[in-house]
Amino acid sequence: MKIIVGLGNPEEKYLKTFHNMGYIAVGDVAAKLGVKFKKKECEAYVAEANLDGEKIIIARPVTYMNNSGRAVKQLLAKYRASADDLIIIYDDYDMPKGSVRIRPSGSAGTHNGMRSVIAETGTSAFVRIRVGIRDAEVNIPIINYVLSEVKKEDYELFVSACGRAAEAAISLSRGESVEKVMTRYNG
């Protein structure tokens, strides 16, 4: 089993913001696996898929970014899963826009959603897929930047990055090693 969680904010006004890259990427995962977010459980919208005989749970927490860990903790408990089964996809202000990086573990960095996940689960030893959002030409406070909408001229760049993040999550769910997936998608 794998649980793939995309971090973001549930309201329509946040749909095209930088902070919703995780939501967009798990939407791509669901589309690629031919499933839809049909139910709400564990403070998240959830889609279920079967991939090569493996159950895949795809989730978008509705707790808002800073409390994402509550939903993740509940999902792990409900599905009797461990951190080894978890893949988190989220935006990363510390990376250049449009880049994708996979890591087997690590700190939360500047990301409050990841701080919540680590605090609630009690571990940082789970796979994370980060979508870079930093635009070196923009100089506004982080909170204002992450909640702003992606510029029209950058939209395709982020659609592509979220698609790559989704493909990486699917590859990991198929049992490919983190190292192999990192080699293919990091950069």
Write the burial class of residue 161 (CB in 10 Å: 0-12 exposed, 13-18 middle, 19+ buried).
buried
CA 130 and chain centroid, separation: 7
Is the pLDDT reported for residue 187 higher than 80? no
DSSP 110: T
Kindly report, residue by residue over 18-36, the tens digit of the pLDDT. Answer: 999 999 999 999 999 999 9
- For the stretch 112-152, pLDDT in tens is 999 999 999 999 999 999 999 998 888 888 888 989 899 99
Q: Given 2, 19, 70, 111, which residue is catalytic?
A: 19
Are 69 and 119 a contacting pair, CB within 8 Å?
yes
Can 19 be counted among the known catalytic residues? Answer: yes
**Cα(33)–Cα(14) distance, integer angstroms:** 25
Whole-structure pTM value: 0.95
- pLDDT for position 139: 86
Q: What is the pLDDT of residues 70-108, one digit of tens each?
A: 999 999 999 999 999 999 999 999 999 999 999 999 888
DSSP summary character for residue 166? H
